[in-house]
Structure 1
């Protein structure tokens, strides 16, 4: 079904070597062995720092086409946990956890702004300069604030899946460095001044965990080009299959898009697809591309005040002529992407062959760490204590796909997910202040 790749294997190129899934008997032994080894590794790595431990909450941040807990969808099926509930699983075990609700189709900048207000509370301010530049409203939805005490004394652990990875990195950049254009904005007598978010100087994030994060872009966005918006928006509309109720909120209010009372979901989806947002570079579709990721990795720094860790999945096995093919347990929604990525011929960092292993949506090297940023492969020096400002890259999890790493479908089970997120929460809690 699934297996966590052994940490004893050294990374080849940009990623660790993975193997085809073992038999059930081998799987149980390997899984148990890895579990014990990883627990000891994490304990020794943190304990070596001396002063350790914190009570900062975890914040789960969904990816593209994801949802929080306020929509009807979450009452039936949760983004983190599916029919289970990762947030409450962690809360019940003493790890305070929130699940964010940000725009499923919005850009990393807009999503970072929404995440800030989701935690702190207030009406979302996307920035006067940013909003004017891209032609959307400056203000968005209002959040009550789940963690209004958020500050340098009361930090958070941000855990992002898929596009949630670059989104939480963008938030840290804005918190710590602000934005010079927004800082220089001179409001008229009728305008509000610059939001505190854009003023910088806020070391409010203790750790970042990227899970199958799109840190270097994905060919799934690049190769489809213009048709990408129609295709992905059509897929997203499937999340709201009942036309009578809003099961899924596209949350594009800054673009003037609202679902009117009684409006048919198909008409609502058409309205979204005709939005001017897709003609700009201020959208999720653009931000998932290689070009956008390269620019973001220059602008968004790895903070020397924050701990970083990444987890990625490989749902493929070797095919003919150095190709990679999806495993039989890959989610059907990901089979096409997994097969296409397994044939990659783009000459990317580390060579095109290294970019063929994938989780059905994101190539392994894209999910490991932002290219050009400081990083260490966890298997290289397991006794090394964690350092801030360095990405700790865990080996690819073999036999798991992009959806299965957050929802118990096909490649994983709820028990596996609870253990996986439980380990992350325990590690975060043990990180030195």
Structure 2
């Protein structure tokens, strides 16, 4: 009997894991299994770059040598590097210990990987991130909670992961996809002193923000998957996102504790479990009368071009923070037509999305999302986000930026400017499956962590960084 129960639990866990991973594949991310399949295809059809391997070994030796010459610093004295996941993402301890950042957090001794809502709104996730670091009970704000119909208070952190966080103990943030926008909203909240009981917060609590395929200006992918271009807060009656909505509602309503511990969409503050809303509440949720999908307080409206523009209206690029951005791209132009840049270099579950996004045309009978919008500007993409959206905040006002074209450039690095580089890769190149990204994965994360450690404290004078700073 016991053996039968163990087998049943294992099968159930496998089923849930498969469903969650399929959602990744349908929308942005993929399973480790699919990543392994892609890796096998790459190994079959391509040969390893021997020169790149040699170059990486040389750079590793140089980095190790330079680090040994520095004055030893206690790990506790180093500012944390916080890795913030994107949509459908997860933090440390979820999905059976799978690493969202593919083990990159092991590259430094002071890295935090918070578990935020995977489908909750940018606003809600920014609030959760603050209390994850400082400790206490998550407070979503009275006005916001009343407007969107959920509880004002959420998860309790008995002990913050960095309770000493303040202007004298700032933090480096690295955000992937929507995670980059979450950090920007959090910094603005700090500047606006938006957390009750914390009147001394400021933008200077953030040392640097590094974006990996950041969702700064929205994506046309949202319209392909079901958000309405004419009404960006709502979905089409029949679309992929409706499937996602129904599955999420049922998952939260069942409220099976060990499943929620395995993976959680983050809507606990909406009280959608069967214990709190019953059958009638479930029906209301499914019909779209109540819940996050009815109020619009979830991630997809924030990822439309119009939703991102509305967020950006209130977000600043601050003069004392360093900003870095890696924008990914998997398209090229052939005879004036934008097409995927290859077959085997793109994850199989994202290839069709790269093609669809490269051919996206805004409906001619719908008012464009912003003045000056052109379809051709949004054709380059990585299968989930448009490349133009990932470089730096652009709409409704373009923020200061500097394009880094070559790794050999040595430039005076200034705070308050978005330094960005375009990387050949799809949207999940630097998360979930490390083997598929190969050497490029290690080179980028090594440069990110090294840069963060160079700026262990805020410097008043302008600095010139070495050539490899954005490689």
Whether these two folds match at TM > 0.5 is yes
The structure that is helix-richer by fraction is: 2
Q: Between the two structures, name the one with larger relative contact order (CA 8 Å, sep ≥ 6).
A: 1
Q: Partner of 1:404 in structure 2?
A: 429
* Stretch moving more, 118-127 or 128-137: 128-137
2:409 aligned to 373, 379, 382, which one?
382
Q: How many residues align?
A: 374
Q: What is the rounded CA distance, in whole Å, between the counterparts of 1:197 and 1:345 in structure 2?
A: 46
Cα offsets for 1:286-306 (capped at 9, x unmatched): 111111111111211111121
Tell me how far apart the structure 1 counterparts of residues 50 and 245 of structure 2 sit (CA, whole Å).
Answer: 40
Structure 2 distance, partners of 1:335, 1:237, is: 29
Q: Work out the CA distance in 2 between the residues paired with 1:272 and 1:196.
A: 39
Q: Any idea what SS the aligned residue of 1:146 has?
A: coil
Conservation of the 8 A alpha-carbon contact between 2:272 and 2:291:
no
1:335 to 351, 359, 374: 351
Aligned-residue offset at 1:135: 1.6
**Residues 393, 272 of structure 1: alpha-carbon distance in 2 compared, 3 angstrom cutoff:** farther
CA distance in 2, matches of 1:169, 1:429: 21
**What is the alpha-carbon distance in structure 2 between the residues aligned to residue 105 and residue 272 of structure 1?**
19
Deviation at 1:55?
A: 2.7
Q: What displacement does 1:158 show?
A: 0.7
Q: Distance in 2 between matches of 1:86 and 1:204?
A: 24
The SS at the match of 1:111 is helix
Long gaps (5+) in structure 2: 1-41, 63-76, 228-234, 363-367, 459-471
Residue 133 of structure 1 pairs with residue 154 of structure 2: no
**C-alpha separation in 1, matches of 2:57 and 2:217:** 29
Describe the shift of the 1:358–1:249 C-alpha distance in structure 2 as closer, same or farther (beyond 3 A). same
SS of aligned partner of 2:204: coil
Structure 2 CA distance for aligned equivalents of residues 238 and 99 of structure 1 = 28
Q: Mapping of 1:50-65 within 5 angstroms?
A: 55-65=78-88
The residue that corresponds to 2:179 in the other structure is: 164
- Cα distance, 1:238 vs structure 2: 13
1:195 lines up with 2:209 in the alignment: no
Larger CA Rg, structure 1 vs 2: 2
- More divergent stretch after superposition (136-145 vs 343-352): 343-352
Q: Which residue of 2 aligns with 1:78?
A: 99
Following TM superposition, by how much is the alpha carbon of 1:129 offset from its aligned partner in structure 2, in angstroms?
1.3
**Residues 331 and 409 of structure 1 are in contact (CA less than 8 Å); yes or no, is this contact kept in structure 2?**
no
Structure 1 unpaired stretches of 5+: 1-20, 41-53, 180-193
Pair 1:116 & 2:130 matched: yes
Please, what is the CA RMSD of the aligned residues? 4.0
Helix, strand or coil at the partner of 1:379:
coil
Q: Aligned partners of 1:34 and 1:419: how far apart in 2?
A: 7
Cα distance change, pair 234–134 in 1 and its aligned pair in 2 (3 A): closer
SS at match of 2:169: coil
Does structure 2 retain, via aligned residues, the 8 Å contact 1:177–1:199? no
CA, structure 1 residues 215+312, in 2 after alignment: closer, same or farther (shift >3 Å)? same
